[in-house]
Amino acid sequence: MVTVREILQAARALRPHIFRTPLRDAFLLSERVGAAVYLKLENWQITGSFKPRGALNRMAALSAEERARGVVTASAGNHALGVGYAARALGIAAATIFVPRTAPRAKLEKLRQFPVTVRPVGETYADAHRAAETFQRETGVTFIHAYDDPRTVAGQGTLGLEILQDLPDVDALLVPVGGGGMIAGIAVAAKTLAPGVKVIGVQPAASPALRDSLRDDKCYTEYVAAPTICDGLAGGIGEMVFEAAQNKLIDDVALVEEDETRAAIRALAETEQLIVEGSGAVGVAALLARKVDLAGKRVAVVLSGGNIDLGLLTEIVERKT
């Protein structure tokens, strides 16, 4: 597991390249749920999600020889954008990204602005991940893991530092969980600097890989998800988040249904004028659906991304679902 010192080092390395996103007081949502709610606006981050934090920290550590050879990764969308942005920021010319053919169109269209080669393959993140690993073995380029790498986790953990700096007396953190790199890093920062803070992961009920891994005492690095609008949270988890959860750095895991996530997206648009994708809205969904008992507490919710398809957003806001 990474240390808070490594997260602090990552924060210094990232400072020239990313935004320090606001932690916004969401007083209208607070009134609805009976807690003091603060929103960490990573939907306003470069590329529209938190992913550049991990990708940049990992890729900044590449040697000159590794940069010359290039990198490869697999992603459902947001990590691909993070790698693309990092490649441009760090001058890495060759970046190959394997994506599932089901990857959201909005994210794939954004990728065109970056110096990357996109290779659609398979139907799931696991399919793309296997293809990327094969490519890495055949070419010798460096694989940039989306979540199960210490430098990636340290970069994503900088979110925890920023939240604690802006809200030192926070009682609980609600963090979306897909592969788990973000919550693993945030949990290390939070439990080291403010041990009393509750760290609660939130997953779609369609893909409860962390919940099931803890229940079965087995890390499900691959997981067959049901259909979900939370594409960035679908599939298996990494070994690092499993270790963090087993070591009690993560206090609980809440699950939200698809209609609850849609309601959260709509509420964020209506009450906060924020565009948030399904994966980024699950923390608010957990609050609105009373999946967590945080009444009277100061709660920071990570809105991890805003790259939602315009057609889907229109359906949700107009209540056509």
304 part of the active site: yes
Which DSSP helix (H) or strand (E) runs through 151?
A: helix 150-166
* C-alpha to C-alpha distances, 179 to 26, 42, 108, 283, nearest whole angstrom: 27, 17, 20, 16
The 3 state secondary structure assigned to 269-296 is HHHHCCCCCHHHHHHHHHHHCCCCCCCC
Exactly one of 51, 107, 191, 198 is catalytic; which is it? 51
Q: Which residue has the tokens 């691909």?
A: 80
40 part of the active site: no
The token pair that represents 193 in the structure block: 């600097």
**How far is residue 8's CA from residue 72's CA, in Å, rounded to a whole number?**
26
**43 in helix, strand or coil?**
helix
Per DSSP (E only), the strands in the chain are 23-25, 36-41, 71-74, 95-99, 117-120, 142-143, 172-176, 198-204, 252-256, 298-303
Exactly one of 75, 207, 279, 304 is catalytic; which is it? 304
Q: Which residues are catalytic?
A: 51, 304
